[in-house]
Every structure is written in structure tokens, then in C-alpha cells.
Structure 1
Amino acid sequence: MTKKNIICLSALILMGSLLITSLVNQKSAAQSLSNDLPTISTEAKFVKYNKINDLEEAADLIIVGTPSQEFKDRDRQVKRFKDGLISDFYTNTNINVEKVIKKPSDLDINQTINIIEPVSTLISENRQQKITTEHYQELKKDSKYIIFLKKNSFGNYSIINMESGKFNLDSTDPTDLPEDKQSKVEKDDLKKNIVKKYSDKL
């Protein structure tokens, strides 16, 4: 085999490798995109806390923990009126509890607790959509959070303060900070104060 033929063969091998890499990257991107559901965000009236002391006082329960399941595997609920209109929606999320910062005296927490998130999914005409409140993003499996909760009228513990009621502590949740610039700044400032105050417990 001549030197010229060797150079041509090497070039073909290199081009083939680049083509395979490109196809693999395109496939990975397509798979990632397929996991992103179109989202409907609803508005809600809720008390917003921008100061750590107010948030802490409003919460009945403050925990540090990680969700044990992917969002798609959780118990997602959508309640409807008789006419078919949506009356309520939420997701039951199981949390592996690492630490308890605040809790009611009558609450016994072992290693896990089920909490309520203001997000769910809708399926209609073979199409699935995510439905959420005030652009809330669900907790991610195995990501570590500090979570602020309040007991609701049904005896369950729900996240308060929407997006600013849970804070990712290990930088594994890329959706933890809101896209809106002002909301992002507010949550980031609140997060810094929380991490500083509870530094010995996180």
C-alpha cells in the first residue's frame, strides 16, 4: 500500500468516525428532547416570602432530602369537576430524608416522607403535557434539596412559596433557578441566606 493510499484510508476512517459521532450526538439530543413535555403553567394566589425568617416561620416542616423516583414514576394526580374542568392537580413525591431542621412535635419522621408538589401531567388524545402552578419545576430524582413545607387541610405536607420553597444544594438540578431574571435574583439571594444560616445542618 502506497503512502498516498494510506493517507486516503486514514482520511476515510476519520470522516467515518466524525459521522458516527455526529449521529450519536443527534440521537442523544433527540432522546433528551423527547423527555421534555410541553408545559401549561397556571396562575395562583399564594403568599410569597422573600426573607428567610418569614419563610422559616411560615413552614411547619423543613427537611433536607432527595426524591427517590423519577417524575414519570411518581403518583401524579389531576382532579376534575363533573363537567370535566380541572379542580386540582398535584404530585405525591417520596423524599429520602437526610436531616430535619424543623418539625411539629407530633410528627414522627423516620427515613422517608411523602410530600405534595404543585405539578402533574395531563393526557388527552394520546398527547401528554405537564401542568404546573406559577412555573414550578418538579424536584429531580437523587438531587439534594432543602425543602420548606406546610401541612394542608388534608393532613399532607405541601411545598410552600412555589419555586422559592425548595433549593437544590448539590448543583444537580439545572432548573432550580427560574428563567425570569427578577425571580432568579430573588431566589438566588434567598438561597445564599438559607445556606449561610443552616450551614452546619446541610
Structure 2
Amino acid sequence: LVPESYDYVYQKIKNDVCLSSISGGTDIISCFALGSAILPVYRGELQCKGLGMSVEIRDEFGKAVLNQKGELVCTRPFPSMPIYFWNDPNNEKYYNAYFSTYENIWCHGDFVKETENGGLIFYGRSDTVLNPGGVRIGTAEIYRQVEKLDEVLESIVIGQNWQDDVRIVLFVKLAVELQLDEALIQKIKTQIRSNTTPRHVPAKVLQVNDIPRTKSGKIVEIA
């Protein structure tokens, strides 16, 4: 859940509920980050790591970090861990899916920061992290700002290799009968710049009729 969703729940629904945002995967039949009825809830944070999950956040050099965005990894085996894929006799797909980033360490593909509270903040999939000017940006950081605008129903953001760098391209699906014009483009860019950094601002904003999604409703950024 984004921080604003916490505000909504506590202001509009119930002010003393244990709000547990969680994250895991269908493939592990489990969660790396969970809720707990005996821990405090911090705005925008998943409360704690899953029981029995040796979860760390690692930087690009493989070092465990705190209060810094990085890769969510699990350093030891866990009971619900898949041990092979069907039709993968040499375990190549299995290895490439989880163990190619850090040797013998499960890398889940999430871009995350661990806080001093022991909580976790998710910034999107690490395989869709944008790198304009060498700065790593989670796509969720941009979505969070764009979705605040009433004019935008949905959006999808990608990194495009451009002139020896990466430029951010944002596609938007607008409310019925709205057309993207220069004024709305500037409004979108201002919203992003004011609440993130100039690096987050897309180089191009383009209107589309629809956003591609998987059968489970996830935005298909890589494709």
C-alpha cells in the first residue's frame, strides 16, 4: 500500500486497526514481508519479514544495506521454496530466475528499502528499475504521483535507451474524452518533479488508449 492508503484507512475506516500490507509471490506460496498483530504499524511500511525468511536488502555490490534501496534477497532456503521447474532438465530457467544476480542467494526481483523500524518499503520490480543518469528509480515512485491526478486513469512507465543514456517515457490513459495537451503534460511533469526529483521527470509523455496487463492484472512494463 502507498502511504496515502494508510491515511485513508485510519481516517475514514478505523483508527485502531492493524493494517498489514504484505508482499510475496505465487512461486514461493508465501510472503517475504508480512504483518504482525504485536508490532506497530508505520505509514507506508510493510511491518516485518516473514517468519523463517532470511530476508536482506542488498546493493549492486552484494552488500546488505539499511535505509537504502536495493534488491530483496533471501539468503537461506525456506520451507516453501520451489526446487525446480518443469521442462527445465538442466535447471537453467530455475537458476536464471532466482540465482543469477547473487550466487546461491535467492533474488526475488523486488526493489525495496529496509527501515530502522524493521519495516520494508517497496518501490516496484527491480527488473523494471529505471536508470536515467545512473540513478536507480523504482517505477512505483512515478506511478504514485501520476495516480494522484484526476485526469489520468492509468499509466505505464518505461526506460528507453537514448543517446548513450536512459530516458523515461510515460504512457497515460486519460479520463473519457480528455486529450493530452501541453498544459496537461506540464501538470504531470510538475506533479512528479515537486514530489520526487528532477531525475524522475519523464522525457516524453504520450497518450494511449489502454495499458497492457497480465491475466492477474499486473502492468506489463518489460514487454
Question: Which of the two has greater helix per residue?
Answer: 1
The two structures have a TM-score, normalised by structure 1, of 0.26
Larger Rg: 1
Q: What TM-score do the two structures reach when normalised by structure 2?
A: 0.24
Which protein has greater RCO, CA pairs closer than 8 Å, 6+ apart? 1
Which has a greater percent of strand?
1
